[in-house]
Chain A
Amino acid sequence: MIKIRAEHVDAYYGAKQVLADISLDIKERQITALIGPSGCGKSTFMRCLNRMNDSVRIFSLRGDVYLDGDPIYADTYDVVQLRQRVGMVFQRPNPFPQTVYDNVAFGPRVVARERGADLDSIVEESLRRVGLWQELRDKLTQDALSLSLGQQQRLCLARVLSTRPEVILMDEPASALDPIETLRIEDLMRELIELYTIVIVTHNMQQAARVSDWTAFFLTDDGLTGKLVEYGETGQIFTQPDDKRTIDYITGRFG
């Protein structure tokens, strides 16, 4: 099942073309990793998937992106609902300066106007999904910033889950974490795909290899415009890639 389909996506910052002709299918309940050197457009592309680039005034896009078959760049498409369905976790944990509870409850309060016992159960369920409930059940009123970085990142993931998304976009979610916390996030991602579709951007090729089912390799040949070089099953990309440039990159002979 295809969850998101990108068709011939070109993206521009003003007159500068930053993505050229990207066509890519994101499979439902699988993990798709976007890899490539800095400036190859992988983050820009991921941000096209929930229209996070809309806030950049000079950004424009040609081509189409479909979520469950509906074109998300259509004029009538509800962007607020899109971002609830396609949630995002960022590079550095960014909890709100509030309690653990309020961080997770934030989305459901604002979006679904949940209150009381319903809200409590959403918070508990979200914290359970990210493996934080046992650790934090007695510390729900604690300041989120007092948690370890790894806990903060999982809290941010719980905050995304609390609004019941279908797709989770992760932009370098483990780059600020130590190796053990990194593996914990990776294990968590493997659990989450029972329910969610995940797209991850990572500079850490080994992480992409470990965690993903599908890998897309992006590259720019002029330092400006990102292109999709190769896309396939992760096992195949890391053992027998087709494209010479992919081979050079994953064997560390490039860049």
Chain B
Amino acid sequence: MLRRRFEGELKRLQDEVLGLGYAVQRAITEAVDGLKVRNLDVSQQIIAGDSEINRKRFQIEADVLVLIATQQPMARDLRALAAILDIIRELERTGDYAKGIAKISLNIGEEELIKPLLDIPRMSEKAMDMLGRALRAYIDNDDRSAREIALEDDEVDGLYNQVRHELVTLILADPSRVEQANMLLWAAHNLERAADRVTNICERVVFSATGELGELPNSPDQSDA
């Protein structure tokens, strides 16, 4: 095989993207967990850890630019690198959602939760499972899986609607709970957006694998992003 140096660097960068993905997955999962079990220390750690996620993203971005400048990648090699630039942006924004959820947890503070959290952790679990598989699909150049994963966004949207309905009902029943309910709505909204970003990642996987540029069904409305 020719171009071993390029192949080696591309592989290394893809591993870095996976690493960033795992860090983001962990951040979301722990942020939701911190919110659920009211562990404010965990929430603090998530907020502090966000800068590390940002740092990793910029490091990967700089390395991709060096690789493009020095190795002149073409065709699928170029697409694989262009896709990384998009994917890491989506990951970094997902990391920001984790931070947002952690802040919500801190804002709720010592207050007791107005309801036990069930569907919000389910949203998180589902979205993060999709994220892990989307990144795997990127590494495997598996556009078929990517298209399927994007469709699963419906499940997260379904859960989101359920959470929203429940919280709105709670607010209507007891307006004094509006503040916390609103915060929980935002936490759920963050998770719904996180799943949308997985859909964006799936689009880049399809692009990287096939060269096809376009939105997948379930793509978040760009004006809403």
Contacts and interface: CB of A to CB of B under 8 A. Distances in A.
Q: Number of contact residues on A: which range applies?
A: 10 to 19
B70 A187 contact: no
B70 A238 contact: yes
B47 to A, nearest CB: 32
Nearest to A180: B2
Contact of A235 (B4, B6, B69, B72): B69
B71 A187 contact: no
A239 B69 CA distance: 6
Contacts of A55: none
Interface of A is mostly: helix
A209 B65 CA distance: 12
Chain B contact residues: helix, strand, loop or mixed: helix
Identify which of A184, A234, A239 gathers the most chain B CB atoms within 10 Å of its CB. A239
A235 B5 contact: no
Contact of A239 (B3, B4, B65): B65
Contacts of B4: 187, 190
A232 to B, nearest CB: 12
Which size class do B's interface residues fall under?
A: 10 to 19
A210 interface: yes
B3 A183 contact: yes
B2 A184 contact: yes
Nearest to B2: A183
A206 interface: yes
A235 B66 contact: yes
Nearest to A209: B70
Interface of A: 180, 183-184, 186-187, 190, 206, 209-211, 234-236, 238-239
Given A209-B70, A235-B70, A238-B69, 18 more contacts: A180-B2, A183-B3, A184-B2, A186-B5, A187-B2, A190-B4, A190-B5, A209-B69, A209-B71, A209-B72, A210-B5, A210-B6, A210-B71, A210-B72, A235-B66, A236-B66, A238-B70, A239-B66
Q: Name the 7 nearest CB pairs between A and B, nearest first.
A: A235-B66, A209-B70, A238-B69, A183-B2, A239-B69, A190-B5, A238-B70
12 contacts: A180-B2, A186-B5, A187-B2, A187-B5, A190-B5, A209-B70, A210-B6, A211-B5, A235-B66, A235-B70, A239-B62, A239-B66
